[in-house]
Amino acid sequence: MNTQVLPASAPDAIARAVDLLQRGGIVAMPTDTVYGIGALLTDAAAIERLYAVKGREHTKSIAVLLAGADDLPLVAQNASPAALRLAQHFWPGALTLVVPRLPSLPSALSQTNTVGVRVPNHPLALQLLTASGPLAVTSANRSGQPDALTAQDVLAQLDGRIDLVLDGGSTPGAVPSTVVDTIASPPRILRPGPIRAADILAASQAA
């Protein structure tokens, strides 16, 4: 496989990325944290490819990226009031919420009945998500290797393994998102990140 590289400024960049995704492809894109690789949420075979590309164990779930908080019902069922408050307060941003997932989502996403979901605060990622719909996304690196902060970092690890890299320059944040279990009461931090625990607790309890 030849991995294509397209600058974000290319007039057909988003259209070509969506076309590849709709044909089962895997596309790398910058986010507000690190570069990620994505597949269509409705394409179970493409999601399986994400695991193979990374050398990732199936015991580790793959998160979903959305274009906006209003899209949460596309992946979550019975999201808690705390989850809705956190989504409204911190999205778009570096916060992943673990929520109960819709039974209709591909089982490859997770071995549990939950899914991690967030809205990235990056214009290119949001353009792609708006055009493609929700994407299953994981970091654009081989498992156990450093996160990719540039398109060149992605190619150094995944060249020939993925279909396309959207080159949006360096990512603005080098730290992966904060992950919060919103099924727990009060919400529980599973992975520390850019958003402080005290801010998450305060926002989750706000009236």
Checking if the pLDDT of 207 tops 70, the result is no
| Cβ contact 195:178 at 8 Å | yes
pLDDT of residue 1: 80
pLDDT of residue 65: 98
177 Cβ partners below 8 Å, 6+ apart? Answer: 33, 94, 95, 96, 118, 191, 193, 194, 195
Q: Which amino acid, residue 199?
A: D
**pLDDT tens readout for residues 106-157:** 999 998 999 999 999 999 999 999 999 999 999 999 999 999 999 999 999 9
pTM above 0.85, yes or no: yes
Domain ranges of the chain: 4-78+95-174
Using CA atoms, how far apart are residues 25 and 16, in angstroms rounded to an integer? 11
**pLDDT tens readout for residues 33-76:** 999 999 999 999 999 999 999 999 999 999 999 999 999 999 99
CATH topology of domain 4-78+95-174: DHBP synthase (3.90.870)
**pLDDT tens readout for residues 16-32:** 999 999 999 999 999 99
Q: Which residue has the tokens 């705390």?
A: 82
